Amino acid sequence: MDESLSSLLTVREKIDSMDKQIVSLIQERARLVVQVGEIKKAKGEAIYRPDREREVYEKIKKQNTGPLPDSSLMAIYREIMSASIFLEKGMLIAYLGPEGSFSNQATRMRFGASVETVPFSSMPEVFRAVETGKADYGVVPIENSSEGLVNSTLDQFLLSDLLIYSEIYIKISLNLLGFENDLGKINKLYGIKIANSQCKNWISANLPHCEIIETPSTAKAAMVVSERKEGAAIASSIAAEIYGLNIIRESIEDLPNNSTRFLIIGKSQCLSTGNDKTSIVFSVPDKPGALYSALKPFFEKNINLTKVESRPTRKNSWEYNFFIDFYGHESDPQIEKVLSDLKATTTFFRVLGSYPASEPIL
């Protein structure tokens, strides 16, 4: 037998032996997961624990000696944990659809492929599904690195008692999808408002003649083009695969490193991990220095504010709600004191949730 062939067979035998061990260990891990699920059920604890998820990922990265990068190992473990959640109880995750939307992509990145998901056509429907128990959690966009906040999500938090349970950032790459490769023959352009805005310079330079038609999501834009066999859509490459469209032009967003932050919403709050964010909303009296008085405790305690935004209250003209994100967990003694001082200066105050902080994509 050729020496190189003999060496190849020897290596393959080793791989086969390792695969057998890996399968055995994964199944043994699954049996332990079932036990964990039974204990959680008896104690009334949540099945999905982003704090525990982070702990697992951190241990994986510390134990990784290569050659696979951390990202590859985390992707493998994401699916292992997704299957584990399915074994423990199974969950239903609501997201802003249809299938192929960036919310769908964020859902898969956070929960894996084993968890059952269901798309909804509007933000209120996603919130309602979680509120009524039709879904365990919801995934909604909250802000984009180039276009800012998704106001429809903020508005829902003022109408709902749901809490922010976790967050995730994903890179956004927008493509022109359709059947017609000649840009001069494309007369209609479908896309969600925020995506259209992210590509406005490219659209102006390449499709100035197009009628722009807004859709509820990028995936809906792709679906419409697929069904009507006309125009083009601004959407993801995943949407192109799902709806059978050609990628006419890739990465047409005006700014590189475009990313969107998504929130996982639910009825409970995550435990402190030591690296958390808290989101709150409040309004202040209409008098000089009111906002300064509200923010002063954060400065005095050296607490980093990561976002400060205002939205009209829609109750009285020129009155605003202020949405703030900052580092720390509501249960931290220092944060408790700051929030107590803040509450005393406001006319309306609500904690939207404390949750593990994720790293933005730069």
Active-site amino acid positions:
260, 262
Q: Are 138 and 200 in contact (CB under 8 A)?
A: no
Distance CA 148, CA 192 (A): 14
Q: Which helix (H) or strand (E) is 275 found in, with range?
A: none
Q: What is the DSSP letter of 182?
A: -
With H, G, I as helix, E, B as strand and everything else as coil, classify residue 212.
Answer: strand
Give CA angle at 75 (71, 77), nearest 5°.
115
Which residues make Cβ contacts (< 8 Å) with residue 141, sequence separation at least 6? Answer: 96, 102, 103, 106, 150, 153, 260, 261, 262, 263
Count of residues making up the chain: 362
Q: Is 99 exposed, middle or buried (0-12, 13-18, 19+ CB in 10 A)?
A: middle
Q: How far apart, in whole angstroms, are the C-alpha atoms of residue 88 and residue 33?
A: 7
Half-sphere exposure of 31 (CA within 13 A, CB side): 5
Q: Which of 94, 89, 61 is nearest to 75 (CA)?
A: 61
